[in-house]
Structure 1
Amino acid sequence: MRGARRVVGASMLRWARAWKLPHGGLGPPGSSFSRVHFMPSSGGGRVGAQPRPLPLSYKLLDGEEALPAVIFLHGLLGSKTNFNSIAKALAQKTGRRVLTVDARNHGDSPHSQDMSYEAMSQDLQGLLPQLGLVPCVLIGHSMGGKTAMLLALQRPELVERLIAVDISPVETTSSSNFETYMAAMRAIDIPDEVPRSRARKLADEQLSSVVQDMTVRQFLLTNLVEVDGRFRWRVNLDALAQHLDKILAFPLQQESYPGPTLFLLGGNSQFVHPSHHPEIMRLFPRAQMQTVPNAGHWVHADRPQDFIAAIQSFLV
């Protein structure tokens, strides 16, 4: 039986859109709420300096070491737990090692004022070889997809094949309402020492005036954690809001990635536009496109079985 190794953080809340949160609580029985780690800003402000990698939180499911491992990178305001059920299913179906990772300023990973894709790529360039997981199959959703693309372009020898989920290597203009979401999260006011169920209800009520979609609110609420009797967001909202323009952009690249690449798109999403295709093909000449019907931007949550099937087909 495959075991699971984990570093830094305990398992956190599941993403409500794919798996329902238990009634009346923030997490399953026995779930824990982790302290947030803070790190000095990477790079030291020197022009041209490489960002300093941070010790990311991750969960690794064991599998055959002879097969390339599968790495999942979540999107903005997400965490490694977004892929819990999918990672387990894929490990069972393929026999591969599967790694889920919290990006800097997310989940149980350290906080930093540097939120560039170069920094996020450096974090993985430090982690993946250390774990003996290269070359790997890199799967990234949205912000995680841009990190995955940049890593493949910078260090193609580390990436056996690449899957970008509902995102392009260009500036994201369909944006999303992430700026609105973060402003609403920052405005939340929860009294100290209230029970978890009450804290979540209060946060949901306060978010609802701005975020009408209940499933989006439940997704945002997976970031609400208890620290010393007070409820706070585990994501670094200040750094994310300050650098949102960088997160929506993509660093200009000259070299292409020669490996097999799949752009897996949600049929109901507008994040990847036909006008992006020339840049996709310039940077990823072996790219193929696949659309998952009846899925929005969060393809893996809307159609998890179709998402797994698409990955399995691409791995063959």
Structure 2
Amino acid sequence: MVSGVANGRLVDLAYNLMNGRNSKTPLVFLHGLFGSQSNFYSIAKSLVQRTGRTVVTVDSRNHGNSGHSPVMTYEAMSLDLRNMLDKLNFPECILIGHSMGGKIAMTTALQRPGLVKKLVVVDISPNRTDSHNPVLYYIAAMKAVTVEGSDLSRSTARNQVEQQLQLYIKNARTRSFILSNLVECNGRYVWRINLEAIKNNIDYLLGFPEFNTSFSAPTVFLGGANSLYIGSKDYPEIKRLFPNSIIQHIPEAGHWVHAEKPRDFINAICAFLETR
């Protein structure tokens, strides 16, 4: 049983469990920064139908409906995950993590290899993420918006916020992704993610813990061909930490591989599940 966190308290994670029709090792999905379990809802539903496995989608701390904490180390987030898996009585799982979720998944596999039968890391590497990452810019944009009026419908509030975000964020897909975090709370529209915690921990979130151990179970690094998050410079560290890994890129996909090319993403996951 997981029993506490050295640099902060455990956070109970919100999750959605879709029961499968067989008893094969369950799949557990971890979203990226600014994301939530809902990012994988349609993917999870398709995989339950196609593979018969139970699938769990998870909200990481400071995201979605999970609790907030000023601590955002990958070790702490991994302990949250392991605590949740304990409660679900999962002796092992197949972890699938995108971006930040991929770093949580890698940390968990390297710290508790017996818990992870296979590992899927989506468009991220164990190296430091580029310092030009736009996260702080997105946080500033989110903090700058205001919602005028009371008793507004969600669509009206969303339209207000999107018009303001357009001044900062030109890409419509990125705006839509960020707007998924706008929620109504006590008659006000607020961001449900903990922007302060993300901002205060951004240097750590862009990095990755140092490990001298390796994870020898089957692993796939699944990148987008149009993304720069997994490149040749990352291969040596990937192979050092994950010697039994393969690296694949899905054509015409960017960083949000699963959202841009869902069918190809599902096919790649299913093919990997069949490998030994």
Shorter-chain TM range is over 0.9
Equivalent pair of 2:7/2:71 in contact (CA under 8 Å): no
Answer yes or no: is 1:84 the counterpart of 2:41: yes
Q: For residue 155 of structure 1, what is the aligned residue in structure 2?
A: 112
2:27 aligned partner, one-letter code: V
Cα deviation, 1:64-98, whole Å, max 9, x if unaligned, reads 45200000000000000000000000000000000
Answer yes or no: is 1:255 the counterpart of 2:213: yes
Q: Which runs of 5+ in 1 are unaligned?
A: 1-41, 44-48
The Cα RMSD (Å) is: 1.3
1:184 aligned partner, one-letter code: A
Q: For residue 15 of structure 2, what is the aligned residue in structure 1?
A: 58
The secondary structure found in structure 2 opposite 1:76 is coil
Q: For residue 229 of structure 2, what is the aligned residue in structure 1?
A: 271
1:310 aligned partner, one-letter code: A
Q: For residue 119 of structure 1, what is the aligned residue in structure 2?
A: 76
195, 202, 220: which one aligns with 2:160: 202
Answer yes or no: is 1:109 the counterpart of 2:66: yes
Within a 5 Å distance, the mapping from 1:1-316 to structure 2 comes to 43=5, 49=6, 51-64=8-21, 66-173=23-130, 175-193=132-150, 194-316=152-274
The secondary structure found in structure 2 opposite 1:163 is strand
Question: Taking structure 1 as reference, are residues 72 and 200 closer, same or farther at Cα in structure 2, changes over 3 Å only?
Answer: same
The secondary structure found in structure 1 opposite 2:266 is helix
State how many pairs are aligned.
270
The secondary structure found in structure 1 opposite 2:23 is coil
TM-score normalised by length of structure 2: 0.95
Q: Distance in 2 between matches of 1:173 and 1:152?
A: 23
Q: Which runs of 5+ in 2 are unaligned?
A: none
Identity across the alignment (%): 49
Q: Distance in 2 between matches of 1:230 and 1:175?
A: 33
Q: Distance in 1 between matches of 2:195 and 2:130?
A: 20
Equivalent pair of 1:52/1:122 in contact (CA under 8 Å): no
2:67 aligned partner, one-letter code: P
The secondary structure found in structure 1 opposite 2:117 is strand
Equivalent pair of 2:69/2:197 in contact (CA under 8 Å): yes
Bigger Cα displacement from structure 2, 303-312 vs 239-248: 239-248
1:61 aligned partner, one-letter code: M
Q: Distance in 2 between matches of 1:291 and 1:245?
A: 27
Equivalent pair of 1:135/1:160 in contact (CA under 8 Å): yes
Cα deviation, 1:87-129, whole Å, max 9, x if unaligned, reads 0000000000000000000000000000110110000111112
Bigger Cα displacement from structure 2, 50-59 vs 164-173: 50-59
In the TM superposition, structure 1's runs of 4+ consecutive aligned residues that sit over 4 Å from their partners are none
Q: Distance in 2 between matches of 1:51 and 1:164?
A: 26
Q: Structure 1 residue 53: deviation in Å?
A: 2.1
Q: Distance in 1 between matches of 2:216 and 2:51?
A: 24
Q: For residue 20 of structure 1, what is the aligned residue in structure 2?
A: none
Equivalent pair of 1:52/1:123 in contact (CA under 8 Å): no
Q: Distance in 2 between matches of 1:229 and 1:78?
A: 23
